[in-house]
Amino acid sequence: MSVLRFDPFRDFDRLVAEQMAGLRGAPRSVPMDAYRRGDQFLIHLDLPGVDPDAIELTVEQNVLTIRAERRFEPEEGDELVISERPQGTFTRQLLLGESLDTDRLEADYDQGVLTLRIPVAEAAKPRRVEITKSAGGQRAIVEGQAARLS
């Protein structure tokens, strides 16, 4: 039998600490999914409410940086009742393998989701290697694949 300790004030204490530290509404990490499909990697990042012009993608060496900004500026006379949506600058950095062709990276933003498509570099794709037989000097193709080690 395990004992679970319940503290009804834990969440309250956390909220007060965040407010005192000025973290309330501060941007957090950008949620994402990443996977390989065939000869490309796909990355989906959730950026709801972000203007496409406020998204910046940069690649330096093999580091991809995604920076986006979401702001809400109340108009004069507005009475703010609740402010829970994170505002400010969101940043996420991804370390990309050298087997990806970042020069051909494509980005699309639709319904609050930024989709990145990064093709696998030609040099990193599996290829057939011809092997010669030593006995008799005859050539024969042996099926196999060579892979690049990263």
Residue 77 within a domain: no
Please report the pLDDT score of residue 127 as a whole number: 74
Q: Please give the model's pTM, rounded to 2 decimal places.
A: 0.64
Rounded distance between C-alpha atoms, residue 100 and residue 102, angstroms: 6
30: domain range? 26-72+84-124
Please report the pLDDT score of residue 3 as a whole number: 54
Residue 51 within a domain: yes
Using CA atoms, how far residue 93 sits from 35, 49, 63, 96, in Å, is 16, 20, 7, 9
Please report the pLDDT score of residue 86 as a whole number: 85
Domain count, the chain: 1
Residue 138 within a domain: no
- What's the gap between Cα 104 and its chain centre? 17
Residue 64 within a domain: yes
Q: Of 19, 27, 148, nearest to 85 (Cα)? A: 27
Please report the pLDDT score of residue 130 as a whole number: 84
Residue 134 within a domain: no
Residue 132 within a domain: no
CATH number at residue 62: 2.60.40.790
Per-10-residue mean pLDDT of the chain, 150 residues long, equals: 55 59 57 93 94 94 92 90 87 90 94 95 75 68 57
Please report the pLDDT score of residue 58 as a whole number: 95
- Output b/e per residue, 44-66; b: 16+ Cβ within 10 A: ebebeebeeeebeeeeeeeebeb
Residue 7 within a domain: no
Please report the pLDDT score of residue 37 as a whole number: 93
